[in-house]
Structure 1
Amino acid sequence: MSLLATLTAGSPVFLAAVAAIDATGRLRPVDEAHAQLIATSMNESGLIQPVVVRIDASGNGLKLVVGGHRLRGANILSWEEIPAILIECSDDEARQIEIDENLARKELTALERAEFLAERKRVYETLHPEAAHGKAKKPKTEKGKVANLATFARFSKDAANSTGLSERTIRRACELAGRLSPDAIAAIRGTKVADNQAQLQALAELEPEQQKIVAGLIAAKAAGNVAKARIVAGFVPEGGAVREADRPLARIEPMLMRMSVADLTTLIAMAQAQIAAKTPPAKPAGAKKGGAA
């Protein structure tokens, strides 16, 4: 059962004053075009799913937890009140609920998904300090590496159960978010690259300063993808820095970084089988060229 479902169980719906609901400080800004569509639906059929709110920590008014586009739709329609469910939760619990609701709807770009999951991991470790790095009881291994892996396994399992995403998707997204520089993220947000997992991975493989320059070129529409932006920036010569004969290997290398140890082990076995199949059989010992004299 998700955190939201647990907190809303048995909570009645009431009419909340639209003007009293604070929707600031949310992770994902409202898309006006989508809000207009929501408003049209609300005007024709009413609000099917109430928004979720909590008491503002300041004690003045309400704080929005779930339903940013629905609340904006109510504002567009000049509604004075909107159906709502009131829950009790902390700031971190509210953030986790917001993240899970957005992830479950699968309306995020690849970049947004990575950012949301990285933030969810931070919130998870705050809500579960016994599992966070340096707080959990560590086994006797170098710098607690085993403990860290166990912590991430607990987080990824919890996130998978709450969002419906696979644990592999969650691990890859968190890794991606950790490797992208803040400047690069800010620059590519809203571009086509932001919803292209392969392009984001290619960008993440660059050094932070190169990421910033490449992302800036893409945002300025001076290049349509990471490879072209690297050429425009002068990081690689026209045609690429890879020799034609080496291009298959260059295409494989980024994929290797995303593969698990089990996948890499299987790949090694496959490569060894291909090498054996393509290697000519050795000549018998003592054989001479040209036959007998």
Structure 2
Amino acid sequence: MTTTAGSISIAQIDATDRLRKVLPARAEALAEDFDKRGLLTRIEVVGPLDGGTYRLIYGAHRLAAAKLVGWESIPAVVHAPDAFADAAQERLREIRENLVRFELNALERAVSVASWRDIYEAAQGKVTRGRKKLSQDATISGIDPKLKAAQQFADTFSEAAQGALGLGKDAIYRALKIATIPHEIRDRIADCALAGNQSELLKLAEQSADRQSQIVGMILAEPPLAATVEEAIAVIDKLPPAPKRGAWEKVSDTFSRLPTAEQHRFFDAHSDAVELWLTKRG
């Protein structure tokens, strides 16, 4: 089996018959990054095949982004045509690339976004590009510095990149807030469920460092002394336990935040139950 690294003509790459559809917003976001920083990870292909073409194994979004930028060729890992025993083994490599990866959890993502902003600001100076009204988010004492920083950093990305990468103002603000959790606390919770729960991390970030340490200690105790940040706070402050919310209350909270069109779709999906309820009310 021969594997080499080189640059392949994009026109010669066959990217049909993919398991994953290329999403335009993701390709556009990658294209922006390629235009500024180039390709980080090579795509992988098999070839040359009949006619001198190459078949893409993985990297469809990267390939699409390269086309958007106008590249004529793209760096690739190239496997010889006999590298795989059969088509199934080749497909399995694509599947492994998509499945055998560890996505960032909520804590890791927040720290990464905050660090990215810090590095960008250190290299470029204070982020000032773009200025959108923040009056609706301002407090009596002025604008929350993290909110302002989030808006300014978000403005450095296009709308496509903000959507594909989840780097809108609100997402960045939440990340900056979570990233204020001290490093020592982050290390303690890195391998537990709390690290993947953004809502809980935001509640934790609102507490002082000493209280964060107490809260985490209670959640990580064996057996746990509290299941959530809110429960731990109640114990620390000697508050009566909050009543357990019913399933309908959770659904109601989510429903109330939906756009009107989405609420109407919900009604359509549960029209039988709605009609029964209306009948009972008379």
TM-score relative to the length of structure 1 = 0.41
More relative contact order in 1 or in 2 (CA 8 Å, sep 6+)? 2
Scaled by the length of structure 2, what TM-score is found? 0.42
